[in-house]
Amino acid sequence: METLKRYLRPEQLRELSLVFLIALIFLFFGTQIEDYFSPRIFNRVTSDMAIIAVVAIGETLCLLTRNYDLSVGSVVGLTAFFTGKLLSFYPETVPPIAAVLFAVGLGAVLGTLNGVLVAYGRVPSLIVTFGTMAIYRSTIVAFPAGTKNVVTHELPEWIINLGRTNLFSIGGFDIKPLVAAGLVMFIIFQLMTSYLRFGRLLYAIGSNPEAARIGGLPSQRIVFMAFVMSGSIAGFGGFMFLTRYGDLTPAAAQGMELMVIAAAVVGGVSTNGGSGTMIGALLGAMMINLLQQSLLRWLVISNFWVGAFLGLLILVAVTVDAVIINRMRDIWARRGAESETVGEKGISEKKGKA
Kindly list the residues in this chain that would bind another protein in the complex (CB under 8 A).
68, 117, 121-124, 126-128, 130-135, 137-142, 250, 258, 261-262, 265, 271-272, 302, 304-312, 314-315, 318-319, 322-323
Minimal distance, residue 134 CB to another protein, in Å? 3
Minimal distance, residue 210 CB to another protein, in Å? 13
Residue number with CB closer to another protein (126 or 151):
126
Rounded CA-CA distance 334/23 in Å is 32
- Look up residue 67 and give its DSSP letter: -
Contact indicator for 156, 92 with CB cutoff of 8 Å: yes
Q: How many Cβ atoms are within 10 Å of 203's Cβ, its own excluded?
A: 20
Q: How many Cβ atoms are within 10 Å of 35's Cβ, its own excluded?
A: 9
Residue number with CB closer to another protein (103 or 313):
313
Secondary structure of residue 248 in the 3-state scheme: strand
Task: Tell me the sheet residues that pair with 39.
Answer: none
Minimal distance, residue 310 CB to another protein, in Å? 5
Residue number with CB closer to another protein (95 or 255):
255
Minimal distance, residue 302 CB to another protein, in Å? 7
Contact indicator for 76, 51 with CB cutoff of 8 Å: yes
Residue number with CB closer to another protein (27 or 312):
312
Rounded CA-CA distance 341/107 in Å is 48
DSSP 72-124: HHHHHHHHHHHHHHHHHHSTTTS-HHHHHHHHHHHHHHHHHHHHIIIIIS---
Residue number with CB closer to another protein (159 or 248):
248
Residue number with CB closer to another protein (62 or 104):
62
Minimal distance, residue 54 CB to another protein, in Å? 20
Minimal distance, residue 319 CB to another protein, in Å? 6
Minimal distance, residue 127 CB to another protein, in Å? 5
Minimal distance, residue 62 CB to another protein, in Å? 14
Tell me which residue of 275, 281, 273, 276 sits closest to 223, measured CA to CA: 273
Radius of gyration of the chain (CA): 21
Residue number with CB closer to another protein (141 or 211):
141
Q: CB within 8 A of 319, min separation 6: which ones?
A: none
Residue number with CB closer to another protein (99 or 281):
281
Residue number with CB closer to another protein (98 or 123):
123
Q: How many Cβ atoms are within 10 Å of 329's Cβ, its own excluded?
A: 16
Minimal distance, residue 188 CB to another protein, in Å? 28
DSSP 115-181: HIIIIIS---HHHHHHHHHHHHHHHHHHSGGGGS-B-GGGS-HHHHHHHH--SEEETTEEE-HHHHH
